[in-house]
Structure 1
Amino acid sequence: MRPVRRRALVVALPFVLAWAVVVATFAGLRDRLPDPLATHFGADGRADGFTGTGAFLSVVTAVLLGSGLLILVPTLRLTKGLRAQRFAVALGYGMSGLLGYAFASLLLANADAARASRASQPLWQLGIALAAAAVMGALGWLLASRDAESAAGPGERTAAPRLPLAEGEMATWTRTVGSPVLLTVGAVATLPGAVLVAVGSGTGAPLIFVGLICAALARCRVTVDRRGIVVASWFAPRPRMRIPLDRIEHATSREAAALSLGGWGYRIRGGGSALVFRSGDALFLTLATGREFAVTVDDAATAAALLNTLIERDRPAAGERG
């Protein structure tokens, strides 16, 4: 497993597991829960705050998965390894343990209550939640300590040579590129979305939509020919992106880390945009507008060379037409 994938798994896994445990607890207790639920208790253990069951699941999803994302993005954007970020990883693990236990214990406190106002939760439950946070934090520290110290930075930019073509000769370059990260994100979003729809929560539909978009981008074909460059989904006519030759100034290639381009999927960043499937070989296009477009794909140097040749061949023709 590549270092960046292992780090993503290490950082995000506790939040996903905590969310899964809370949803499973909710599903198991569904017929025994009042509506609304007691979701806040005073110092005497009596309920003094209430939330509808559907809203509760939405809050759980937003808090746990949102917290995981907030920890994941800044952690992976740094080039140094998780060992140098042990405190942040341990903090994330501790947060997942605290929140996961707190949400699950709220459901257990509500189980079999005739009305939410009759539910109670003793203050010592807070001590157990803090203990769970400490155990998870220690686990996060241990896992981060086993990670490599640093990650390699982006490769150096290399100028692409022209591809020699005889006058009138045509050429096409095409490669298929896949993204295990996008495929995983698609599955992680779609499956919980389906579970949430099954239990009656409106949060599930947006998750399913996001999951299907990620699945559509998880494998694409990149084609370069006299029309320019086309990136098309592996199983559907859309999404599809085409940039004609007259919009491209020149092309280059270089090694690039996914996070240096803003992450996986379609990314909009300062000065341009990118389709990022994985780290590694990438094709960079400088557009006529001055902006840059990048796509990560194997054998990008050949694609860049062919594009530059086709661009040079196309420019005189454009001038003659003018």
Structure 2
Amino acid sequence: MSPVRRRALVVTLPFALAWAVVLAVFTGLRDRLPDPLATHFGPGGEADGFTGPGAFLSVASAVLIGSGLLIALGVLRTRTALRAQRPVVAIGYGTAGLLGYAFASVLFANADAVRASRVSEPVWQLGVAFGVACATGALGWLIAGRDTAPEDDPEGSAAPARLPLADGEVATWTRTVGSPVLLFGGVVAVLVGAVLAAVGPGVQAWLIVIGLISAAPARCRVTVDRRGLTVAPWFAPWPRKRIPLARIERATSGAANALSLGGWGYRITGRGSALVFRSGDALFLRLATGREFAVTVDDAATAAALLNALIERERGTSEQRG
């Protein structure tokens, strides 16, 4: 088995095991389950949402298998070692543990119920579910650290270049970059939250909030000028990320995989932070603090060359003043 496929297997394993557990529990309890099942519970643990057994199993299978396949596809597209993607692996394991326990606990709660409306789910089950998520997430973190495959070095893939700028010459580089993943995920979260809010009381308003937060930065404008690097939503000047020239040591460019940077959106990585819109061309900044900031954007080589030229000019001006 190739190293890439082995890493993909490691990432998808918890989702496959969680699905197998849910399927086994469903099969074992099938004759003891009411129709429909109680599948949503209010703040007091009382049932307030119901689904047929077949539909429940279909949704659980689609969520678990689909999540595993999505992560596997991302891993197969990169040679980056899992230890460089520890946050993604840990979140994947934690998510699989959380979902697997939640689906299984719903089935056990419904077992032997005469009517689904009388089913209840104790609030402490939520704490247990998060405990399982933390335990499986920690397991994923440990497993990822054992991968010794060579890491990609996107920052070293292109030597720091400089655009020739005459004294006093003004130059600006700007590109708009979009993320179908962030947009799709945000829209889906908003729609699901809206549907749930319509069918059940006190429901997942937090899904709508998460969806809006995800969709807001789905399309941004990246600008390099005498002020440094600025990333802001295309429709508004705020919220924005700005890094002045004085904080940048050098800029490089190279290819990067979204998962190798921690996933889509604003990510905190082992090296620093990143704004990830998609896989592909990326701009890497080495900051004065020793940390790194990355943003995925087309024509990153030109942006890096202009930044290096502006940094060199800025330092030359500072030395003359000194």
TM-score by shorter chain over 0.5:
yes
- Whole-angstrom CA distance in 2 between matches of 1:201 and 1:207: 14
Question: CA distance change for structure 1 residues 317 and 52 in 2, over 3 Å: closer, same or farther?
Answer: same
CA distance in 2, matches of 1:52, 1:258: 34
How does the TM-score come out when normalised to structure 2? 0.60
User: Which residue in 1 is equivalent to 2:41?
Assistant: 53
CA distance in 2, matches of 1:57, 1:115: 7
Map of 2:76 onto structure 1: 79
Conservation of the 8 A alpha-carbon contact between 2:221 and 2:234: yes
Displacement of 1:241: 0.4
Q: Which residue of structure 2 aligns with residue 116 of structure 1? A: 118
Return the alpha-carbon distance in structure 1 between the equivalents of residues 224 and 48 of structure 2: 46
Q: Secondary structure at the match of 1:229?
A: strand
The question of whether the paired residues in 2 share the 8 Å contact of 1:219 and 1:233 is answered with yes
Secondary structure at 2:187 match in 1:
helix
SS at 1:263's partner residue? coil
CA, structure 1 residues 218+116, in 2 after alignment: closer, same or farther (shift >3 Å)? Answer: same
Q: Answer whether contact 1:154 1:260 (CA < 8 A) is retained.
A: no
Counterpart contact for 1:216–1:235, Cα < 8 Å: no
Q: CA 1:201/1:262 → structure 2, altered by over 3 Å: closer, same or farther?
A: farther
For 1:69 and 1:201, locate their aligned partners in 2 and report how far apart those are by CA, in whole Å. 28
Equivalent position amino acid for 1:283 in 2: L
Shift of 1:68: 6.3
Tell me by how many angstroms 1:226 deviates.
0.1
With over 3 angstroms needed to count, the CA separation of the structure-2 counterparts of 1:43 and 1:266, relative to structure 1, is same
Separation of aligned partners in 1, 2:110 and 2:290: 55
C-alpha distance in 2 between matches for 1:183 and 1:114: 37
What is the match of residue 288 of structure 1?
Answer: 288
Cα–Cα, structure 1 residues 298 and 80, in superposed 2: closer, same or farther, change >3 Å?
A: closer
In structure 1, what is the Cα distance between the partners aligned to 2:301 and 2:320? 30
Distance 1:159 1:311 in 2: 16
Rate the CA distance shift 1:68–1:198 in 2: closer, same or farther, 3 A: farther
Aligned to 1:177: 177
Structure number, greater radius of gyration = 1
CA distance in 1, matches of 2:175, 2:231: 10
Give SS of 1:78's match.
helix
Residue 222 of structure 1, CA deviation: 0.2
Q: How many Å apart are 1:72 and its aligned residue?
A: 5.6
Q: 2: CA distance between counterparts of 1:310 and 1:317? A: 10
1:193 corresponds to: 193
Give how far 1:160 is off. 3.5
4+ long deviations beyond 4 Å? 41-46, 55-58, 63-70, 153-156
Any residues of structure 2 matched to 1:1-322 within 5 Å, and which?
A: 53-54=41-42, 67=64, 71=68, 75-76=72-73, 78-79=75-76, 99=103, 113=115, 116=118, 157-322=157-322
The structural deviation recorded for 1:106 is 5.4
Q: Which runs of 5+ in 2 are unaligned?
A: 1-7, 20-28, 79-95, 120-151
CA offset at residue 206 of structure 1?
A: 1.2
How far apart are 1:73 and its partner, in Å?
A: 7.1
Point out the more displaced range, 236-245 or 253-262.
236-245
Distance 1:195 1:303 in 2: 43
The separation in 1 between residues aligned to 2:117 and 2:66, in whole angstroms, is 35
Measured in 1, the distance between the counterparts of 2:253 and 2:207 equals 35
1:216–1:239 CA contact under 8 A, matched in 2: no
Q: How many pairs align?
A: 233
Task: Identify unmatched segments of 5+ residues in structure 1.
Answer: 1-6, 19-40, 82-91, 118-152
Q: Secondary structure at the match of 1:314?
A: helix
Cα distance, 1:239 vs structure 2: 2.2
Q: Deviations over 1:42-84 (max 9, x none)?
A: 99779xxx997335689x99x9598568736753553379xxx
Identical pairs, percent: 58
Q: SS of the residue aligned with 2:157?
A: coil
CA gap 1:51/1:256 in 2 versus in 1, 3 angstroms: closer
* Match of residue 36 from structure 1: none
What is the CA–CA distance in structure 2 between the aligned matches of 1:71 and 1:161, rounded to whole Å? 40
For residues 271 and 188 of structure 1, do their structure 2 counterparts lie closer, same or farther at Cα, with a shift above 3 Å needed?
Answer: same
**2:48–2:117: 8 Å Cα contact kept in structure 1?**
no
- Give the Å deviation of 1:210: 1.1
Q: Secondary structure at the match of 2:76?
A: coil
